[in-house]
Amino acid sequence: MIRFESVSKKYPDGTLAVDRLELVAPSGEITVLVGPSGCGKTTSLRMINRMIEPTSGRIWLDDRDTATVPTHELRRGIGYVIQHAGLFPHRTVVDNITTVPELLGTDKKQARRRALELMERVGLPAHFAKRYPAQLSGGQQQRVGVARALAADPPVMLMDEPFSAVDPVVRAQLQNEFLRLQGELGKTIVFVTHDIDEAIKLGDRVAVLQVGGHLAQLAPPAELLSDPADTFVAGFVGRDRGYRALGFAEAGLLPVRKEHAVRLGSGRGEAHDAAEDGWVLVTDAEDRPQGWLRTDRLAEAEPTGPVTAPELNLGGTLASETATLREALDSALSSPSGRGVIVDGAGRLLGTVTASEVLTRIEQQRAAADPPFTGDVGPGGAESEAS
């Protein structure tokens, strides 16, 4: 547990970066500090490992006052991941990862074995060990950065915008793997980001900071979306927060309707007969949905022959039967036929739902739950992936 006790940071020029911050980051949870630039989120993070010294107040690491621990000793016990990874260019990947164990005097062989194990954990192939950071992509460097922070198995990790320097696709991938990793490791993590979506996706609890270093709200993400403390938080969380809040509400058993699907490669006539409103769902041999086929134009192009993959419309997303309301609604809205595809855990077709059916479910849940309607947030909280 990390506890800020009335912590302030005032710079010599008079700027108040952090103003009497009171904050608890519980053990084993991800606490996200989020806010616009100049809100003191990075300053707050860096005060934990004393890269910046607080002007007043105390920061407790469990029952230790961090001010009483020599800085290098304190920092060796805290994992530290920064925006551009900050890997040592002159050292190989494995040597980068063993930095802290080396400082702590751990046996070299043991440290290397652990480094290789960590590389596997963060999704780096073992033959990367002998490479230099300049030979890696940004995403790969950040994986090494995470492995390096984990090398000495610190109970606490500080992460300062670790994923913001990579492209959106890699970022989403790193975020998902980060959540999986945290599920296995259960570290006490303080995570800084300026991206509210990232905060909501990753945080068990989100602290919204306001310029000048005020804590505006500290709450689980669902509560942040449904019940912002003030206009600043409401504005920062964003316009479509109602829709995003659906990402925390499980859809439960949706009234799935049977969908007449055809297999890839079956005849066009069959597809035409199975179609409803001019669209037919096409699956592979294992009943996994592949895409939608528009049947009213089939005859014009090529009247006979089998249904082929390139003809399919791939516009719709899939929602699993354990999906959140957001995923179910998105599946319906994105489907060209207006029918959202629901699949089981193995990706096999269960049936379809329409947007109005999902909306009915939302209304029902609203009516049933004591306000706010997000009261039925699952223990996992975060969005489950449709894959």
Partner 1 sequence: MIAWLNDPGNWTAPGGIFDQLWSHLQYALIALVVAAALALPVGLLIGHAGRGRWLVTVANAVRALPVVGLLILLYVMLAPHIHGRGDTVYLLPTEIVLILLAIPPILASTVAGVENVDPAVRDAAAGMGMRGGQVVRRVELPNALPLVFSGVRSATLQVIATATVAAYLGLGGLGRFVYDGQASQNFAERDAGALLVALLAVAADLVLALAQRYTVSRGVSGRFPRRTLVGDPVATADAPPSTHTA
Query: Which residues bind to partner 1, rule: CB under 8 A?
Result: 49, 51, 71-77, 80, 82-92, 99-100, 103, 123-125, 127-128, 131-135, 137, 139-140, 145, 148-149, 158, 169-170, 173, 281, 289-292, 314-318, 335, 341, 343, 347, 386-387
What is the closest distance, in whole angstroms, from the C-beta atom of residue 241 to partner 1 in the complex?
25
What is the DSSP pairing of strand 16-25 with strand 2-10? Answer: antiparallel
Residue with smaller CB distance to partner 1, 6 or 135:
135
Residue with smaller CB distance to partner 1, 173 or 360:
173
The residue written with tokens 């506890």 in the block is 3
Q: What are 165-172's contacts with CB under 8 Å, separation 24+?
A: 165/83, 165/84, 165/138, 166/138, 166/139, 166/142, 167/138, 170/137, 170/138, 170/139, 171/198
Cα–Cα distance, 80 to 159 (Å, whole number): 6
What is the closest distance, in whole angstroms, from the C-beta atom of residue 303 to partner 1 in the complex?
25
What is the closest distance, in whole angstroms, from the C-beta atom of residue 49 to partner 1 in the complex?
6
What is the closest distance, in whole angstroms, from the C-beta atom of residue 376 to partner 1 in the complex?
26
Residue with smaller CB distance to partner 1, 187 or 205:
187
Residue with smaller CB distance to partner 1, 42 or 217:
42
CA-based radius of gyration for the chain = 25
What is the closest distance, in whole angstroms, from the C-beta atom of residue 30 to partner 1 in the complex?
19
- Token couple for 219: 């709450």
Q: Give the DSSP per-residue string, 344-374.
A: -TTS-EEEEEEHHHHHHHHHHHHHHSSSSGG
Residue with smaller CB distance to partner 1, 24 or 52:
52
Q: Give the DSSP per-residue string, 197-261.
A: HHHHHH-SEEEEEETTTEEEEEE-HHHHHHS-SSHHHHHHH-TTHHHHHGGGBB--S--PBP--E
Residue with smaller CB distance to partner 1, 215 or 329:
329
What is the closest distance, in whole angstroms, from the C-beta atom of residue 190 to partner 1 in the complex?
13
